[in-house]
Structure 1
Amino acid sequence: MSAAPSVLYDAPGPKARRRSLVLSVVSSLVFLAIAVWVVLRLRSTGQFDPDLWSPLYWPTDESFAQVWGQIRIGVTNTLLAAVLAIAFSLVLGTALTTLRLLLGRYSRLPVVLLAEVLRGAPVVILIFFAARVLPQFGVDLSQLWYLVIGLTAYNFVVIGEILRAGVAALPKGQREAGLAIGLTRQQTVLQIQMPQAFRLMLPALISQLVVIVKDTSLAALVLTGPQELLNTGQRLSQFFDNPLQAYLLVALIFIFLNSILGRLAVFVEKRLSRSKGRDKGERDDPANDKHTVTSTKVPDMGGGFST
């Protein structure tokens, strides 16, 4: 019996399946050949020497404890900078979106101009300006705070744009319903539109938070500190003369941190969806409606009719 035809796409025929199999095999062989070439190249340059790997990856090495003490400091500073930048970006991004929604067409032009300037500037330039310009105005802070300011200056604008897109994607009836029940324009934005925009754009927001965590590594390019994760990897690679092994470890740690953040995003999204489903079910349940008539029986007035 032949398989039922798909309603989404045409099932591939014998030639298409054979062509796909050939391409898959050829691609796998090419990838395997490249991997073998890379391994042989690394072996010929001595990159598999145990002395290059053991200080970072082997617990019995005499330098392992000291090395991972430095890595712990780097991870702590990276997470601290990321958490502060995320918190400030979310608060300022929400305020920016709210301000753009409440201001008139011409009165919001300065806000739009500021958003376009900050969004168009590279993050590393903003971090550099924070570290070089602010001290000229007497703002003397630690290198960690310059990193946080630079990350916040760029990412709060991006988060604001994400939330504004979420509000624009909502049905117009949401705003009209809020105004119809007597809410002010500000109350409609804050109590009706913004909460739904957060829930609607949660995947995009989480993706931007992952970008913030990765962008903390830019501090190693323009700042003399703080000792964040990439800066720690640079110092270790210079001390042990093993840049490949050190940067590989830094990359693995960043992947691990961002994977945790991604898992947290999936968990939060599922909880919000489940909560939304429960709320909808309770609203749709007639037993929870105070105005539901529990009995349709009409007292018998002598005529003998009842329903």
Structure 2
Amino acid sequence: MNTKTLFDAPGPRARRRHTLIEVLCIALLALGLYGAYEILEAHGEFSPAAWKPFTQPGLWILLGQGLLNNLRAAAVGMALSLIFGALLAVGLLSRKAPVRIACRIFTDVFASVPLLLLLYFTSLVLPTYGLKLSDFWFLVIALTLFSSAVVGDLLRSGIRAIPYGQTEAAEALGFSGAKTMQLVLLPQALRSMSPALVSQMVILFKGTALAYVLGGYIELLRSATVIGTYYSRSLLQAQIVAAVGFMLVNIALGLLATALASRQRRQSASEPAQEKLEASAALSTP
């Protein structure tokens, strides 16, 4: 299998230079980590007393409830984003210019507005218009507005990548435009864009930490802050535990996205071989 690169392969001098740069970077990183360790050790951050509160099961229950609240908000936000994102993708591909332009404006606006600003909008502006909701739903609405725009563009790209012959075949079978989109195009777009959608789930999950500014929704960061308030000696330790919790979930989702992408590559590689096998079988049939 031949591979193409954007640049020429490095020669002996370039490889030596790259090795030297790598060694220097590793040395600087190790020096920085050692310096941070010395500072934290001098302040007693690694002492048993700083970690003693975490021997209490109640603290882990509080942190676990906060993590579950993060996951719940991210899951609901992603489910709603898939629904509204699919509608946006259909609108972005609409043959009617007003619908297409309106969906494009919505997508460009909410994909470019910071999530924190959307959260302030939902929690501060919407109540002034009589919309009294819990902090959970203010967070979910902000996540949905932001993520729907991204998901809509992802699904639009996935639909555009599907060969037009499938649309023609569906029309030849008597499918309407809506049925073709619902039964033929959208399922394939969801499957082909599944790695990107899982990556978007990672972004949503990290975005749930912004609920900290609301104050009324107990998520993982808020749980760690509450622990640090009662045990001021263990504030940094609580934040470290919260960071590890975010990292574990994000790593798991990243591995899922990688597995989905690898599966799609294997399927794409096997499809031409299957087509050749079917063609040869058809030619050998008398």
CA contact (8 A) 2:198 2:256 kept: no
Give the whole-Å Cα distance in 1 for the aligned partners of 2:118 and 2:218: 19
Residue in 1 that maps onto 2:244: 252
Instruction: Identify if the C-alpha distance between structure 1 residues 52 and 165 changes in structure 2 by more than 3 Å, giving closer, same or farther.
Output: same
Gap change, CA 1:7 and 1:161, over 3 Å in 2:
closer
* Equivalent residues of 1:236, 1:246 under 8 A apart: yes
Q: Following superposition of structure 1 onto structure 2, how do residues 72-91 of structure 1 map, counting pairs within 5 Å? A: 72-91=64-83
Matches within 5 A, 1:182-261: 182-221=174-213, 223-241=214-232, 242-261=234-253
Identical-residue share of aligned pairs (%)? 33
Normalised to the residue count of structure 1, the TM-score between the two structures is 0.80
1:35 and 1:224 map into 2 onto residues whose CA distance is 33
Measured after TM superposition, the shift of residue 271 of structure 1 is 5.4
Counterpart amino acid of residue 178 in structure 2 = Q
Q: Which amino acid aligns with 1:47?
A: E
**Structure 2 stretches of 5 or more lacking a match?**
none
8 A contact 2:110–2:145 mirrored in 1: yes
Q: Does residue 1:136 correspond to 2:153, yes or no?
A: no
User: In the alignment, does 2:42 pair up with 1:41?
Assistant: no
Matched, 1:124 2:116: yes
Q: Deviations over 1:120-164 (max 9, x none)?
A: 321112222222233333332221111111111111111101111
Contact 1:118 1:153 in 2 (8 A): yes
Where is the helix percentage greater, Structure 1 or Structure 2?
2
Structure 1 residue 7, shift from structure 2 partner? 7.3
Q: Describe the SS at the equivalent of 1:219.
A: helix
Determine the C-alpha separation between the residues in 2 that align with 1:140 and 1:215: 22
| Rg larger in structure | 1
Distance of aligned partners of 1:52 and 1:283 in 2 relative to their CA distance in 1, 3 Å threshold: same
In structure 1, give the amino acid aligned to 2:247: I
> Aligned residues, how many?
282
Inter-partner Cα distance in structure 2 for 1:263 and 1:212:
16
Deviates more, 1:117-126 or 1:149-158: 117-126
In 1: Cα distance, 2:243 partner to 2:142 partner? 22
Task: Give the equivalent residue in structure 2 for 1:27.
Answer: 25
**From 79, 101, 106, the counterpart of 1:109:** 101
**Structure 1 range deviating more: 130-139 or 151-160:** 130-139
* SS in structure 1 of the partner of residue 46 of structure 2: coil
Q: Separation in 1 of the partners of 2:17 and 2:272?
A: 49
Deviation for aligned residue 1:175: 3.2
User: Does 1 or 2 have the higher relative contact order (CA < 8 Å, sep 6+)?
Assistant: 2
Distance 1:275 1:29, change over 3 A: closer
State the one-letter code of the partner of 1:45.
Answer: H
CA 282–28 in structure 1, closer or farther in 2 if over 3 Å, else same: closer
CA 1:224–1:28 in structure 2 vs 1: closer, same or farther (change >3 Å)?
closer
8 Å CA contact retained: 1:102, 1:185: no
TM-aligned CA distance change 1:282 to 1:175, over 3 Å: same
Instruction: Describe the shift of the 1:282–1:13 C-alpha distance in structure 2 as closer, same or farther (beyond 3 A).
Output: closer
Superimposed CA distance per residue, residues 60-96 of structure 1 (whole angstroms, 9 cap, x where no aligned partner): x3xx211111112101211111111111111111111
* 1:151 aligned to which of 138, 143, 152: 143
Task: Judge which range, 152-161 or 269-278, deviates more.
Answer: 269-278
SS state at 1:133 partner: helix
Cα RMSD after superposing both structures: 2.9
Corresponding residue for residue 265 of structure 1: 257
Return the alpha-carbon distance in structure 2 between the equivalents of residues 41 and 295 of structure 1: 78
Quick check: 193-202 or 253-262, which moved more?
A: 193-202
| 3-state SS, counterpart of residue 256 of structure 2 | helix
Paired AA for residue 29 in structure 1: A
**What corresponds to 1:55 in structure 2?**
53
Cα–Cα, structure 1 residues 173 and 294, in superposed 2: closer, same or farther, change >3 Å? closer
CA distance in structure 2 between the partners assigned to 1:178 and 1:286 by the alignment? 22
CA contact (8 A) 2:199 2:253 kept: no
Distance in 2 between residues matched to 1:295 and 1:49, nearest whole Å: 78
